[in-house]
C-alpha cells in the first residue's frame, strides 16, 4: 500500500533547528490525514503534529510555537520544521496516518545535546 521513509534527523545543539521529511509511495497519500510521532527511550510513541488532507493542522502543546507541519501532495511528502529545539525533544521521529494505520517506517533519530 503506502511506504513511508523519514529523513532529516541528526545531532543538533539546544536552540537549533532541523527540518524532517517523510516521503510516501503510492497513489493514496492525498486521502490520508498525516501526522508526525515521536518516541523517546522508555516512553510510548505519541503524536506531536497532524495535518489534514485539506491542510488544517493540530500541534501538541509541548511543541506548539516551535514546530510546524506541512505537506506537498504533488510530491507525496510531509514535513516537520523544528525550531528552538530542547533536549527533551530527543526521540526517534516517525510519520504515519493520524490513526497509525499505515506501515511504520524506520523513523529518523533526532538528538538535541550540547
Q: Would you say 96 and 46 are in contact if contact means Cβ atoms under 8 Å apart?
A: no
pLDDT at 26 over 90: no
Residues contacting residue 26 through CB under 8 Å, at least 6 positions apart: 1, 2, 3, 76
* Overall average pLDDT of the 55-78 stretch: 97
Give the pLDDT score at 108.
Answer: 98
Per the DSSP assignment, residues forming a β-bridge with 23 are 5, 77
Bigger pLDDT: 2 vs 5: 5
Predicted pLDDT at 60: 98
Residues in the chain: 114
Place of cell 501538541: 60
**Per-residue pLDDT for 63 more than 80?**
yes
As a whole number of angstroms, the distance between CA 102 and CA 5 comes to 12
Amino acid at each position: 500500500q503506502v511506504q513511508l521513509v523519514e529523513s532529516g534527523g541528526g545531532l543538533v545543539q539546544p536552540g537549533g533547528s532541523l527540518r524532517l521529511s517523510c516521503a510516501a509511495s503510492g497513489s493514496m497519500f492525498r486521502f490520508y490525514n498525516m501526522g508526525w510521532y515521536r518516541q523517546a527511550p522508555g516512553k510510548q510513541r505519541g503524536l506531536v503534529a497532524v495535518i489534514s488532507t485539506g491542510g488544517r493542522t493540530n500541534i501538541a502543546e509541548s511543541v506548539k510555537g516551535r514546530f510546524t507541519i506541512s505537506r506537498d501532495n504533488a510530491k507525496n511528502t510531509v514535513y516537520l520544521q523544528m525550531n528552538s529545539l530542547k533536549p527533551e525533544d530527543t526521540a526517534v521521529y516517525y510519520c504515519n496516518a493520524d490513526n497509525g494505520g499505515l506501515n511504520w517506517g524506520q523513523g529518523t533519530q533526532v538528538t538535541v545535546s550540547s
